[in-house]
Each structure stands twice: as C-alpha cells, then as structure tokens.
Amino acid sequence: MAVQVIPVTEGVWCFRRPSYFACSYVVSTEAGAIAIDVGMDSDAADFLQGLKAVGIPPHRLRVILLTHWHNDHSAGAAFLKREFSVPVYYNTGDMPFFTRKTAAQGIRAWIGKRVPEEGVLVLLRGLLEDAAPEAVTANRLVTDGEILEGAFRVLVTPGHTSGHVAYMHEPTRTLFCGDALAVVANRLRLMARPVTPDLPSARSSALRCLREGARIVCPGHRAPLTENVGEECKRLHDYLETEGRWPLLG
C-alpha cells in the first residue's frame, strides 16, 4: 500500500501508512538525513518508499532514532541497519524487546509470526510476539537530556513502553513524541488506556512533553500538529494537572 508523504516543516517529512496511520519521520540536513522511527514493514518497504518520494537516497541516512520497540514504529530498523549500515539508537528500557530477549515462545510466537504487517494487526503481531520482529542491537543507548547529532534532545518518556523516548529537534522546536502523546483531528490526545500499561509514568511523560514549548508536535500516529500547538499543549496539560481521568480510548 502506498505510503503517504506529509510535509511538516522545512526539511521535515512524515511518512504515513494509511492502513494504521502509523507515522515515521525524516529530517534532512546538509550532513545527511535523520530518521525518527522507520515504519511497519520488516523490509522497510514503506519507509524506503517515503524516502524515495522526497528524493533522499537511503545511503544519506545518518542515524535511526527509535521512540519505542512496537512494530508499527520500529519494524524496518533491523533491515535498514543491515542493508545500509545505518546506526540505530534507542533507550535501554526497551532493549530486551528490541533484542528479542522477551520474545514469546511456542504457539503464541507461531501465531505472531503469521500475523500480516497490515493495519492494526501489526501491533497485535508485536504484542503476541512480545518483541520486535527481528532483533536489532543499539549502536547507542540514549539517555535523558543528551543531544544527538547536534540537534535532537532526548526525553526519556516511559509509560506506553518502559523505554519510550521522545526527541526534541531544537532547530525547528519540533517534538517527535512517538506514542507519549497522540493527535486526533488537530487536537492533542493520549494513547488509549489498553496500550498504556504504566499510567502514572505515562501521565508524567505526557506532562513533560506538553511543557516543552514545542512549535510542532509529531506523534506516532495520524498526523503532525502544526497549528494552535501552544494552546493545545496548555489545554491537555491543564486537563492532566487537574487529575483528569486517562481516557479509555485516548
């Protein structure tokens, strides 16, 4: 299925798989391109299709920054690392899933392997297997507050997964928040409760993202938020601060 390319801001694009609205991003710089998450396909077909559409050859990729291990965000990482020698960065909290130490065995693994990488099934596949589809080791384990590639500040934001990370691109004040926040119909939301195993951590992480003063918010699903960002951050921040309930469906 064709990947959709959504221009975000100068040099930044969103690649979206229509079947599950899963979003990966690329930031183009003079020194090369930086990927934030890399799609739903184990052979990176969707991500490579997006790169081609914006005229970036895969060998221009400098690094892949992963927000978390779920297949709909990281499935293409092992392939891209192997084929194009692109270094992969993620946080230590998700390492057991990325390296498949957690992988299910027996019937659950058997079923998981046979779930197609389509639509919401891709997440089901990951949750059945309880691991990335192919083991990928980190070239660097990112830690809170460090600056990557001279431009991306790491925010460790657990809750949705234990090693979830957001990346703030300082030059454009674009926050790549993965599934720490959601965007639905140009409004900031939260991920649904069934996919938020650690609600207290997820709440703190969401609040932290909302206090960043981002100019643009790029979530893991649907579409980037580029308008009324300050107002939306304040609205959701105030909701969470006043002990607003975490919504069942996000």
Which residues contact Zn ion by CB under 5 A? 70, 179
- Rounded to a whole number of angstroms, the minimum distance from the CB of residue 185 to Zn ion is 20
Q: Which of 173, 136, 176, 183 is nearest to 155 (CA)?
A: 176
Query: 107 or 248, CB closer to Zn ion?
Result: 248
Q: How far is the CB of 154 from Zn ion (least distance, A)?
A: 18
Q: Which residue is nearest to Zn ion (CB)?
A: 70
**Least separation, in Å, of the C-beta of 160 and Zn ion?**
6
First to last CA, the chain: 27
Choice between 33 and 94, CB closer to Zn ion: 94
Q: Closest CB to Zn ion among 9 and 19? A: 19
Q: How far is the CB of 70 from Zn ion (least distance, A)?
A: 4
Contacts by 13-20, CB closer than 8 A, 24 or more apart: 13/50, 13/54, 14/218, 14/223, 14/224, 15/39, 15/46, 15/47, 15/49, 15/50, 15/51, 16/222, 16/223, 17/46, 17/72, 19/118, 19/119, 20/72, 20/118, 20/119, 20/120, 20/122, 20/123, 20/221
What is the number of residues in the chain?
250
Question: Would you say 56 or 158 has its CB closer to Zn ion?
Answer: 158
**Shortest separation between residue 126's beta carbon and Zn ion, angstroms:** 8
Nearer of residues 48 and 177 to Zn ion, judged by Cβ: 177
Find the shortest distance in angstroms from Cβ 96 to Zn ion: 16
Of 130 and 179, which has the nearer Cβ to Zn ion? 179
Retrieve residue 203's tokens.
């709440």
CA 238, CA 43: separation in Å to the nearest integer?
A: 41
